[in-house]
Amino acid sequence: MGRIYRVLSSCLFALSAVGACVAHGAAVEGLRLSRAPEYTRLVLDLTGPVKHKIIALQNPSRLVIDIPDTRLLTSLQLAALADTGISNIRSGVRDGNDLRIVLDMQHDAKPRSFLLSKSGAKKDRLVIDLYGPGGSPVKRTVPQQKRDIVIAIDAGHGGQDPGALGPKRVREKDVVLGVARELEARLTAAGGYRPVMVRSGDRYIGLDKRRKIARNQRADLFVSIHADAFSSAKVSGSSVFALSQRGATSTTARFLAAGQNQADQIGGVALKDKDDVLAGVLFDLSMTANLDASLSAGNYVLQSMSKISRLHKRRVEQANFVVLRSPDIPSILVETGFISNPQEARKLSSKDYQRKMAAAIYTGLTRYFESNPPEGTMVAWRMRNSRVARHYVVARGDTLSEIAQRYKVPVSSIRRSNGLKGNNIRIGQKLQIPTS
């Protein structure tokens, strides 16, 4: 296993007593890099004090910098990386509000870090010095041919179709486009993912064309984002849906599916000529792994959304949504909440809550793909070469032997790592997957 250095932050203050160092929703607004004979120095300019943690990983060499409750307000694209030992800098958001910066290194490096408090015109700064072995970079073996995972992000409705309307004329099409844009930004920053926006502005796109856009982009997953309404203003909660061959699994699901399917009629596109083809598509979906993948991905997203939102149903529901009828792409539909509920409408119209919802969807999607990475992708390569403990959330239909086969580890190793006496596992259970 690769050695993991965990360097906890220390607070450096002036001689006068200042008090404990606590994160207050700070932001990184500047990034500077310099080279000294003994080390490379990375300086992050901050709007306030932060806590941080650094993890050094090997095979490939990376430094992971986690900064809780912090936003990134600057570009990480630095031109002067030559002779610094750093080949690339990227970032992502984890657990909703925490910033993660990843340094792809040309050689193993030992980090030393400290915080400098605001003084005069100088702002708070996080300083990270990177010491390398012998000062001479070691050539990295980075796979150049690995592709990104493509995720098609479908913001529901648009244009002449406003979707559901909530109190104070909150429009579904505006809410879901805001969530979709936030999700796009997070996936782009994460690296290894290529988000495709089905609609990037306020325009209507037919439901069948939405699926075709995803197929033309060879998407690995199709995510349709909505915020629907119900006849009762008391109904609330978030949901995740996958396609159902037999129809809706609840009265609410049946109602929502009927409402969404009418969108093509609003957009002027007829659906009645699709029956024969649709029957074949639904049959194919039921006989392939795509529906299982949809349910599994949906479960990850649902569990993540439960951290910020009340769930309408605590399992992935299935309904006959037109937009999910893709024969070759796993597809889920996320209901971010009921815009007909005054409390949820107020939250959904908030940019801050839209960011939180996007972060929850992002976390669920990335956890799913880290557990089920498509072959030939950068994420699959990372997971195979990572020495960090992996985790898997049990989905419906999983067995311990199938999970062991997927990760290429013995069943006995998974049992031992999780203290299991037998092979019984439950939906939603979080398993630690040993690295060997």
What was the pLDDT predicted at 273? 46
C-alpha distances in Å from residue 101, one per residue of 1, 14, 57, 251 = 22, 28, 13, 45
Q: Which CATH class is domain 391-433?
A: alpha beta
Task: Return d(Cα 368, Cα 156) in angstroms, integer.
Answer: 23
Residue 22 has pLDDT above 70, yes or no: no
pLDDT digits (tens, 9 = 90+) for 374-432: 988 988 887 776 544 567 777 666 788 878 876 778 888 888 888 898 899 987 788 88
Task: Return d(Cα 41, Cα 32) in angstroms, integer.
Answer: 8
Per-domain residue ranges for the chain?
A: 6-131, 149-371, 391-433
What was the pLDDT predicted at 222? 96
Task: Return d(Cα 180, Cα 225) in angstroms, integer.
Answer: 7
Q: Which of 151, 154, 108 is nearest to 131 (CA)?
A: 108
Name the band, by pLDDT with cuts 50, 70 and 90, for residue 12. very low
Task: Return d(Cα 40, Cα 86) in angstroms, integer.
Answer: 9
Output the pTM of the full model: 0.55
Q: Which CATH class is domain 149-371?
A: alpha beta
pLDDT digits (tens, 9 = 90+) for 72-112: 888 777 656 766 788 888 888 888 889 999 998 888 888 88
Q: Which CATH class is domain 6-131?
A: mainly beta
> Between 20 and 63, where is the model more confident?
63
- Geometric angle at alpha carbon 316, from 311 and 320, rounded to 5°: 115
What was the pLDDT predicted at 290? 77
> Between 82 and 270, where is the model more confident?
82
pLDDT digits (tens, 9 = 90+) for 328-382: 789 999 999 999 999 999 999 999 999 999 999 999 999 999 888 998 898 888 7
What was the pLDDT predicted at 100? 92
What was the pLDDT predicted at 259? 60
Task: Return d(Cα 328, Cα 323) in angstroms, integer.
Answer: 13
Q: What is the DSSP letter of 165?
A: B
What was the pLDDT predicted at 188? 87
List the structure tokens of 130.
């990177």
Determine the residue type at 421.
Answer: K
